[in-house]
Amino acid sequence: MLEFKEVTKTFEGSKKPAVHKLNLSINKGEFVVFIGPSGCGKTTTMKMINRLVEPSDGQILVEGTNVLDQDSVQLRRSIGYVIQQIGLMPHMTVGENISLVGSLLKWSKEKQRERAKELISLVDLPEEYLNRYPHELSGGQQQRIGVLRALAADPPLILMDEPFGALDPITRDGLQEEFKKLQKEVDKTIVFVTHDMDEAIKLADKIVIMNAGEIVQVGSPDEILKHPANEFVEDFIGKDRLLQSRPDVTRVEQIMNANPITVKEERTLKEAIQVMRDNRVDSLLVVDEIGTLKGYIDIEMIDAQYKKRSYVYEAMDTEEYSVHKSDLLRDTMYRMLRRGSAYVPVIEENDRLVGIVTRAALANMVYDTIWGDETAEVAAAD
Amino acid sequence: MEAIITTLSAYGWDLLEKTGEHMFISLAAILLGVSVAIPAGILLTRIPKVADRIISFVGVLQTVPSLAILAFLMPFLGVGVLPAIIALFIYSVLPILRNTYTGVMEVDSSLKEAGRGMGMSNWETVRKIELPLALPVIMSGIRFATVYLIGWATLAAFIGGGGLGDLIFDGLNLYQPS
C-alpha cells in the first residue's frame, strides 16, 4: 500500500537531515501511528507522502507508484488529510466543507450533497448541521467534520497530523474511540502522527517510534510495551506505562496457586470441615472424581445446614464463576474486585480445576510490580 | 441664498455634467487600480521576501505630490482624460495593493495548508480560500482609495481632464470679493 525506500529529507540551510534513510512499509487497512519527540521528523515523514514536503532523496510508493511521478494536486485529492488546527473553511457551511474535495473533483451539486449527508450520519451529528457554519460547532464537533472531510472522496489512504491534539482530554477520548470504530467500518489505511503515547497505544495497529530523523522501533503496541528496543523507547514510553503494561500481558496461569484446597462432592460435611481445619481455610472448592469444578462451599454454609444435610453436594453453592487459565490477568482482577470475592477458581478445558487466584496472590503481584526491582537490588547488594 | 439659486439655475447642467465626468474619472481609475493591484498583491504574497521592498517602493511613489505627477505625465501622455485617469490610478494602487497583501497574508495558514493538503491548485487556493477570507481587508483598501481619488480627481482639471475641478478652479480664478 505504502512504502518508504531510503527516504531522506534535508531542509534548505540545514546540514542535518530531518529524515534520514527511512525504510518502512505499510499494509492496506493498517492504522500506523508515527510518534516521537518534537523535531524527530514524524510530521515531515507524513507530509512527504502527499508531497506537502518534497523528499530530497529516496522513493515513496503509494500503491506501487512513486509519488514524485504523480501530479501533486491529483495525488493530494486521492489522499485524505486531517490537521491539528482542524482547518475548516469559516466562510463555508459544514456541508460545503465536507464536500470540498468533491467540489474540486467537479462533482455535481447533488452528489456533493448526498455524500455530505451520508458522511454526517457516520458520526453523531444531526443532518441540520450541514447548513451551519463551523464557528457554531464545538471543537470536538468541528474535528469530526474535519475527519469527514478527509473521507469525502473515499480515499484509500488518510493522513492525520495530531488531529486530536488541540482538544480537551474528555472530548479527545471520546473522539479517539469513535474514530477507531469508524476506521474499522470504512477500512482505510491511516497514517497518524502524534506525540501522545496513550493515544498511540489506544489507536495503533503499528507504532513507529522516531527520533532524530530515524526510526527507532516499529511494532504493535503490545510488542513495544513488552520489548522496548532501547533506553530511548523505554524513556519515551515512560516507566509508569511500562509497569502498567505488565499485568496487561500476564495470564492467570502465571500467578495462580496450582494447589487449591478442594473437597470431593460426595464427601460428608464433617469431612469437609476437617479439610478446612487441616488447611486453615474457610472455604473449599468442590470437584468431582475427575477434577471437574462443581462449586464451592464455605464454613457459613456448613454451619447453616449441617443439621439438615450431610453431604457436600447437597450444601454447596453451584454458581458458575471461574476464569480460564489463559485469560488475561487484568480482566480477572477487574472481575474479582467488582464481585468483592476473595478468590477465583481457575479452570482449563472441560471445566477441570487447575488452580486458584486469591486476593493474596494479586497483592503479591502488585507488590512485585512496585517494589520488585528494589527488592532485587537490595538482595543483590547483600 | 439668492446667489446660490442664480448660480444653480445658470450652471446647474454644467454642474451635473462635471459631476458625471468627475465620477467617470474616479471610477475608471479605481477599476483600473483594482484590476492591477489585487492580482499584484496576491502575486506579492507568493514572494514575501521581496514583497516588503516592493510595497515600500510603491509607498515612495505615493509621496510624490499629485500635481507633480500630473505635470510629469503631460510630456508623455499629453493632456485630457486619459492622463488624468492614469495619474489617479497610480495613487489608487498602493492602498489596494497593501491591503490585498496584508489581507491574504493574514489568512490563517492552517486553512491554506488544509486547502493545499486536500489538493487545491494554486488558483483554487486563491479563489476558494484566500480571496474570500481577505475580502473585508481588501474592501477597506478599495474604500480608502476611492475616497482619496474622488478628492484628487479635482486636479484633473489642470490637465484638461474635466470634472468638478473645472468649476472649482474657474471659481477660484474669478474670485470676486463682493
Contact between A104 and B119 using a beta-carbon 8 Å cutoff: yes
Whether the pLDDT of residue A353 is over 90: the answer is no
Q: Which residues of A touch B117 (CB under 8 A)?
A: 50, 52, 76, 81, 83, 159
d(CA A31, CA A28): 9
Contact between B108 and A74 using a beta-carbon 8 Å cutoff: no
Residue A44, pLDDT score: 92
Whether the pLDDT of residue B37 is over 90: the answer is yes
pTM: 0.69
Question: Where on the phi/psi map is residue B83: left (φ > 0), alpha (ψ -120 to 50), or beta?
Answer: alpha
Residue A79: strand, helix, or coil: strand
Residue A160, pLDDT score: 93
Residue B26, pLDDT score: 93
Q: How far is CA B174 from CA A255, A290, B3, B101, B154, in A?
A: 113, 130, 15, 46, 17
Q: Which residues of B touch A85 (CB under 8 A)?
A: 108, 110, 114
Whether the pLDDT of residue A247 is over 80: the answer is no
Contact between A76 and B117 using a beta-carbon 8 Å cutoff: yes
Q: Which residue has the higher pLDDT, B93 or A335?
A: B93
Banded model confidence at residue A93, pLDDT cuts 50, 70, 90? very high
Q: Are A256 and A356 in contact (CB under 8 A)?
A: yes
d(CA B67, CA B156): 9
Q: Does B113 touch chain A (CB under 8 A)?
A: yes
Which chain B residue has its CA at the smallest distance from A89's CA? B111
Buried b (16+ CB within 10 A) or exposed e, A58-95: bebebeeeebeeeebbebbbbbbbbbbbbbbbeebbbb
Q: Which residue has the higher pLDDT, B44 or A300?
A: B44
Contact between A52 and B116 using a beta-carbon 8 Å cutoff: yes
Q: Which residues of A touch B107 (CB under 8 A)?
A: none
Residue A23, pLDDT score: 92
Counting one residue from chain A and one from chain B, the pairs whose CB atoms sit within 8 A come to 56
Q: A212-221, A226-235, A312-321, B132-141 — which is least confidently predicted? A: A312-321
Whether the pLDDT of residue A375 is over 70: the answer is no
Average pLDDT value for residue range A5-14:
90
Whether the pLDDT of residue B177 is over 70: the answer is no
Whether the pLDDT of residue B35 is over 90: the answer is yes
Average pLDDT value for residue range A281-310:
84
Q: Does B127 touch chain A (CB under 8 A)?
A: no
Q: Which residues of B touch A78 (CB under 8 A)?
A: 119
Banded model confidence at residue A373, pLDDT cuts 50, 70, 90? low
Residue A295, pLDDT score: 85
Average pLDDT value for residue range A186-212:
89
Residue B61, pLDDT score: 81
Residue A209, pLDDT score: 93
d(CA A227, CA A219): 9
Q: How far is CA B137 from CA A96, A285, B96, B100, in A?
A: 24, 81, 9, 7
Contact between B119 and A77 using a beta-carbon 8 Å cutoff: yes
**Nearest Cα residue to B70 out of B155, B4, B10:** B155
Residue A81: strand, helix, or coil: strand
Q: Does B128 touch chain A (CB under 8 A)?
A: yes
Residue A146, pLDDT score: 92
Q: Are A213 and A18 in contact (CB under 8 A)?
A: yes
Residue B160, pLDDT score: 82
Contact between A91 and B133 using a beta-carbon 8 Å cutoff: yes
d(CA A4, CA A25): 6
Q: Which residues of B touch A88 (CB under 8 A)?
A: 114
Question: Where on the phi/psi map is residue A341: left (φ > 0), alpha (ψ -120 to 50), or beta?
Answer: beta
Question: Where on the phi/psi map is residue A357: left (φ > 0), alpha (ψ -120 to 50), or beta?
Answer: beta
Q: Are A69 and A80 in contact (CB under 8 A)?
A: no
Residue A4, pLDDT score: 92
Average pLDDT value for residue range A281-285:
85
Which chain B residue has its CA at the smallest distance from A100's CA? B118
Mean pLDDT of chain A: 85
Average pLDDT value for residue range A331-342:
73
Q: Are strands A31-35 and A19-26 parallel, antiparallel or unpaired?
A: unpaired
Q: Are B158 and B65 in contact (CB under 8 A)?
A: no
Q: How far is CA A73 from CA A149, A175, A377, B49, in A?
A: 17, 29, 60, 25
Let me know how long chain B is. 178
d(CA A90, CA A94): 9
Q: Which residues of B touch A52 (CB under 8 A)?
A: 113, 116-117
Q: Does B129 touch chain A (CB under 8 A)?
A: yes
Residue A200: strand, helix, or coil: helix
Q: Which residue has the higher pLDDT, B178 or A259?
A: A259
For residue range B59-89, what is the model confidence (pLDDT) as tens digits? 888 888 888 888 888 888 888 888 889 888 9
Residue A290: strand, helix, or coil: coil
Residue A248, pLDDT score: 57
How many Å lie between the alpha carbon of A225 and the closest alpha carbon of chain B?
33
Whether the pLDDT of residue A323 is over 70: the answer is yes
Q: Are B74 and B83 in contact (CB under 8 A)?
A: yes
Average pLDDT value for residue range B29-56:
92
Which chain A residue has its CA at the smallest distance from B124's CA? A104
Whether the pLDDT of residue A184 is over 90: the answer is no
The A-side interface with B (CB below 8 A) comprises 50, 52, 73-78, 81, 83-91, 100-101, 104, 149-150, 159
Q: How far is CA A194 from CA A48, A51, B27, B115, in A?
A: 16, 19, 54, 21
Q: Which residues of B touch A75 (CB under 8 A)?
A: 119
**Nearest Cα residue to B46 out of B115, B135, B123, B137:** B123
Residue A228, pLDDT score: 86
Q: Which residues of A touch B129 (CB under 8 A)?
A: 89
How many Cα atoms occupy the beta-carbon half-sphere of A48 within 13 Å?
Answer: 28
Whether the pLDDT of residue A374 is over 70: the answer is no
Select the residue from A44, A100, A103 to test the B interface by mutation, using most B Cβ atoms within 10 A.
A100
Q: Which residues of B touch A83 (CB under 8 A)?
A: 110, 113-114, 117
Which chain B residue has its CA at the smallest distance from A88's CA? B111
Banded model confidence at residue A243, pLDDT cuts 50, 70, 90? low
Banded model confidence at residue A95, pLDDT cuts 50, 70, 90? very high
ipTM of the complex: 0.76
How many Å lie between the alpha carbon of A23 and the closest alpha carbon of chain B?
23
Average pLDDT value for residue range A79-93:
91
**Nearest Cα residue to A323 out of A284, A357, A283, A288:** A357
Q: Which residue has the higher pLDDT, A379 or B76?
A: B76
Residue A100, pLDDT score: 92
Of A81, A85, A90, the CB nearest to B118: A81
DSSP code, position A50:
T
Contact between B129 and A83 using a beta-carbon 8 Å cutoff: no
Q: Which residues of B touch A90 (CB under 8 A)?
A: 111, 133
Average pLDDT value for residue range A325-340:
73
Please report the beta strands in A314-374, taking only residues with DSSP state E, as ranges in sequence order.
323-324, 343-347, 353-358
Task: Please compute Rg for chain A using Cα positions.
Answer: 29
Whether the pLDDT of residue A89 is over 80: the answer is yes
d(CA A205, CA A29): 10
Residue A320, pLDDT score: 66
Please report the beta strands in chain A, taking only residues with DSSP state E, as ranges in sequence order.
2-9, 19-26, 31-35, 57-62, 65-66, 79-83, 157-161, 189-194, 206-211, 214-219, 262-264, 283-287, 293-298, 323-324, 343-347, 353-358
**Nearest Cα residue to A345 out of A276, A245, A256:** A256
Banded model confidence at residue B106, pLDDT cuts 50, 70, 90? very high
